[in-house]
């Protein structure tokens, strides 16, 4: 985690995607949290991607609307990567909300109204969004209620450009047919996406489950609003918004939203008497910089191999055991290295089983930068400098004296892709892919109320990384 981005103090990572990472930072001059979107390092030299990133900032800067994410500042890091400083959405995304609970009909209408206001503001400034979906609707606390904002104009285009040439892109389940076909676009393309979002909010599922843009190019008639008790007028309004031929749709977003409110009748005003969506304190909130796992030189210095407990799993023994159990054994030798080595730390607290050729160098014991005493740890690798060698493979396992899971695991900008974190109440696992060494995995597990287990694996392939992760053990914790 960088300590600063430009003049802004970084607190933690909010999220990352294929093209950028977003950080929660703090504007010390204005005493305010901000979100900073930084272009991914692997796209720095791609001028088309870079230009699209900068255009997002210019498009957002054109619009003055409480329902569109604001851009306050822009800059460039020392390595040449541009960044955008934007308003911080402290209440997460619509996708977050829908992943936990649904919305009432009145709340759904209010989301559509506010998102519609944001889209209308963009259109009036000559900008198309082109990627309206739940993940691009952000929520921000506004007093005792929440405000919805349109965000992520990474696919946005000026209308004068979109009328002549349009890149085929978008999210298949929400994209307008003409956009999937690569035709010139106008505001009715965003209207279609808003109608698809409306359908999702009212029915709990998207109107279409397109697997590709080619399928979205010919969607067929809009499906009925299933599992709802809404007036027939509501379905008629949404269906007109989803008309495959844009000439059959509503003329603009504002007209669509007004028609939807009229069709809903009393439901349209049910949330106006008070906070339509109270802030959720459990969602993302700004806070002090966390005591995150160290991200610079995190591994202990590796010394000469020491004597360790070893188990060599001979292929013949494995085959005999499986045969005796009556199990199929034809794949065993090729699927897993027959020779493995299990290594303990000197205290017997930690152990890990690795391929035999990983154990060129073994070290144990480590004192983390933010802790006064040494903790149990094991580092096993293919060389003394495996964690920095492009061809290096190995695993690092350590205990940490912490009471909570960190807000983020160590980052690996040298990797081209990062998977969505795998999380539950007691652990988080992140796979980084297309790295110089193949794949890097970071895992943090809450063992007890005051002990964390941290595992880092670097491997040529995911299968080996998964096997090593499964063979990490912590002893003496019940």
Annotated binding site: 37
271: left (phi over 0), alpha (psi -120 to 50) or beta: alpha
Q: From CA 421, how far away is CA 405, in angstroms rounded?
A: 13
Q: Are 290 and 406 in contact (CB under 8 A)?
A: yes
Q: Are 353 and 340 in contact (CB under 8 A)?
A: yes
Q: Look at the block and give the residue holding tokens 């959720």.
A: 280
Q: Are 112 and 257 in contact (CB under 8 A)?
A: yes
List, as residue ranges, the binding site for ATP.
37
432: left (phi over 0), alpha (psi -120 to 50) or beta: beta
Exposed / middle / buried, residue 329 (Cβ in 10 Å: 0-12, 13-18, 19+): middle
Instruction: Give the residue among 223, 209, 194 at the shortest CA–CA distance from 108.
Output: 194
131, 252, 344, 407: the active-site residue: 131
Q: Which residues contact 420 (CB under 8 A, 6 or more apart)?
A: none
Instruction: Give the residue among 336, 345, 295, 300 at the shortest CA–CA distance from 318.
Output: 336
Q: Respond yes or no: is residue 339 known to be catalytic.
A: no
Instruction: Give the residue among 164, 165, 107 at the shortest CA–CA distance from 137.
Output: 107
Catalytic residues: 131
């Amino acid at each position: 985690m960088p300590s600063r981005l430009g003049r802004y103090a970084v607190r933690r990572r909010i999220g990352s995607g294929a093209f950028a990472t977003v950080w929660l930072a703090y504007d010390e001059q204005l005493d305010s949290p901000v979100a900073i979107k930084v272009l991914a390092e692997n796209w720095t030299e791609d001028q088309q991607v870079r230009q699209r990133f900068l255009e997002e900032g210019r498009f957002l800067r054109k619009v003055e609307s409480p329902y569109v994410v604001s851009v306050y500042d822009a800059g460039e890091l020392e390595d040449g990567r541009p960044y955008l400083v934007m308003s911080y959405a402290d209440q997460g995304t619509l996708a977050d909300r829908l992943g936990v609970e649904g919305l009432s009909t009145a709340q759904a209408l209010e989301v559509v109204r506010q998102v519609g206001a944001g889209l209308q503001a963009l259109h009036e400034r000559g900008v198309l969004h082109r990627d309206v979906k739940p993940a691009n609707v952000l929520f921000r606390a506004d007093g005792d209620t929440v405000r919805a904002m349109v965000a992520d104009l990474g696919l946005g285009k000026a209308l004068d450009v979109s009328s002549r040439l349009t890149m085929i892109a978008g999210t298949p389940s929400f994209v307008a047919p003409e956009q999937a076909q690569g035709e010139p676009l106008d505001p009715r393309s965003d209207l279609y996406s808003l109608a698809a979002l409306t359908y999702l909010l009212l029915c709990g599922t998207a109107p279409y489950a397109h697997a590709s843009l080619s399928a979205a190019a010919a969607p067929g008639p809009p499906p009925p609003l299933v599992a709802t008790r809404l007036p027939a007028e509501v379905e008629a309004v949404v269906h007109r918004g989803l008309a495959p031929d844009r000439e059959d749709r509503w003329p603009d977003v504002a007209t669509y939203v007004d028609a939807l409110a009229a069709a809903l009748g009393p439901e349209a005003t049910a949330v106006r008497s008070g906070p339509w969506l109270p802030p959720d304190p459990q969602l993302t909130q700004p806070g002090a910089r966390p005591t995150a796992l160290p991200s610079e030189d995190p591994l202990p210095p590796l010394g000469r191999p020491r004597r360790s407990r070893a188990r060599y799993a001979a292929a013949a023994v494995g085959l005999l055991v499986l045969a005796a159990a009556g199990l199929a054994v034809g794949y065993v030798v090729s699927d897993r290295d027959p020779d493995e080595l299990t290594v303990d730390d000197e205290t017997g607290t930690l152990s890990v089983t690795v391929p035999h050729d990983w154990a060129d160098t073994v070290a144990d014991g480590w004192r983390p930068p933010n802790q006064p005493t040494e903790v149990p740890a094991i580092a096993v690798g293919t060389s003394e400098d495996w964690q920095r060698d492009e061809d290096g493979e190995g695993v690092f396992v350590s205990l940490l004296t912490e009471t909570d899971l960190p807000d983020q695991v160590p980052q690996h900008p040298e990797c081209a892709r990062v998977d969505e974190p795998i999380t539950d109440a007691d652990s988080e696992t992140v796979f980084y892919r297309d790295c110089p060494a193949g794949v890097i995995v970071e895992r943090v597990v809450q063992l007890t109320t005051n002990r964390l287990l941290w595992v880092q694996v670097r491997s040529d392939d995911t299968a080996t990384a998964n096997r090593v992760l499964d063979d990490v053990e912590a002893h003496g914790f019940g």
